[in-house]
Amino acid sequence: MNNASNLYLYKREGGYLPRVAAVHDLCGYGKCSLGVAIPVLSAAGIDVCPVPTSLFSAHTRFPKFYMHDTTPMLTDYLDAWREEGIELDGIYSGFLGSAEQVDAILRLYREYPKALRIVDPVMGDGGSKYPTYTDEMCEATKGLVDGADVLTPNLTEASIITGIPYESQDVDEKYVRCMMDALLGMGAKSVVLKGVVHEGEAVIRNYVAVSGGNGEPEEVSGELLPYMLHGTGDLFASGLTAAIYAGLSLYEAVEFACKLVRDAMRITPDQPDYQVRGVSFESVLGDVTALLA
């Protein structure tokens, strides 16, 4: 019976560097999105090919930010890739700039049918959508669920996708099972549901379920630190992707991503303006490189 512990999505061979398209926004100030994905994946020996979905002066937690939507350029951008005969081993998507950008990702799926599809459906947190996300964008993002090799929503994003009402981060296993069954039923091949926290506990729980598995989500828990930081979701998904392409099982990759985020968060309060600047991942990149040892 398949489960996350014996699901290996990528076999590393020799000195070949897997090539992964990272479809995310780029922030000038604030540690998130491509600013996290490029160094983390590169540290794992991955040839990262960015597809910028939007350009931000700073991330959306800042009260003042400038956003440039790159949708008009994406057709020509991807046309040039095809003309050059670029090949991909994976497509890792995150924050989008418009509903139309889902079509660009679906195009990549059609043109690179053998590439792994890792979908971080970045839409919101804490029961609310992010400021730039519209209902139309959320509806379009649902189109990335069917066929996703790995889907990594938090509880808010899972609620948006499934229509199951968001309750809080303190939910029981019955709710988790219902949510994950719904996501697998929509066509995801595996789901990592993030961020379950029970009141009074210093533990954060993530759950992993695999299509065709034994039906029981597998829990991966870790220490809950007493502060929240911007960019931890991007670091988690990037660390997970790095570990998958290093040859770890899905369960092992989730364990690695949890530890990577925790260790980076511990370093972060020593930095100026850390609460808005975001998670300081730079000092833990050596842990990513060590995946290849």
Mention every residue, 6+ apart, whose C-beta is less than 8 A from residue 262.
222, 223, 225
Mention every residue, 6+ apart, whose C-beta is less than 8 A from residue 104.
23, 51, 71, 74, 75, 78
pLDDT at 214: 66
Pairing of strands 90-93, 19-29: parallel
Q: Which pTM value belongs to this model?
A: 0.96
**Distance from C-alpha of 283 to C-alpha of 115, rounded to nearest angstrom:** 30
pLDDT at 132: 87
Half-sphere exposure of 122 (CA within 13 A, CB side): 26
**Helix, strand, coil in percent for the chain, rounding step 5:** 40, 20, 40
pLDDT at 73: 97
Tell me how crowded residue 262 is: count the other CB atoms within 10 A of its CB. 16
**What DSSP assignment string belongs to 231-261?**
THHHHHHHHHHHHHHTT--HHHHHHHHHHHH
H/E segment holding residue 155: helix 155-162
Mention every residue, 6+ apart, whose C-beta is less than 8 A from residue 118.
90, 91, 92, 93, 148, 149, 150, 152, 237, 240, 241, 244
The encoded tokens of residue 208 equal 């992993």
Whether 239 contacts 197, CB under 8 Å: no
pLDDT at 11: 96
Whether 62 contacts 276, CB under 8 Å: yes
| Ordered mean pLDDT values, 10 residues apiece, the chain (293 residues) | 86 96 97 97 98 95 92 98 97 96 98 98 95 94 98 98 98 96 97 97 97 84 94 97 98 98 97 92 97 94
217: left (phi over 0), alpha (psi -120 to 50) or beta: beta
pLDDT at 215: 63
pLDDT at 177: 96
**Distance from C-alpha of 109 to C-alpha of 21, rounded to nearest angstrom:** 11
Backbone dihedral angles phi then psi of residue 2, each to the nearest 5 degrees: -70, 140
Whether 276 contacts 29, CB under 8 Å: no
**Distance from C-alpha of 51 to C-alpha of 92, rounded to nearest angstrom:** 10
**Distance from C-alpha of 74 to C-alpha of 53, rounded to nearest angstrom:** 8
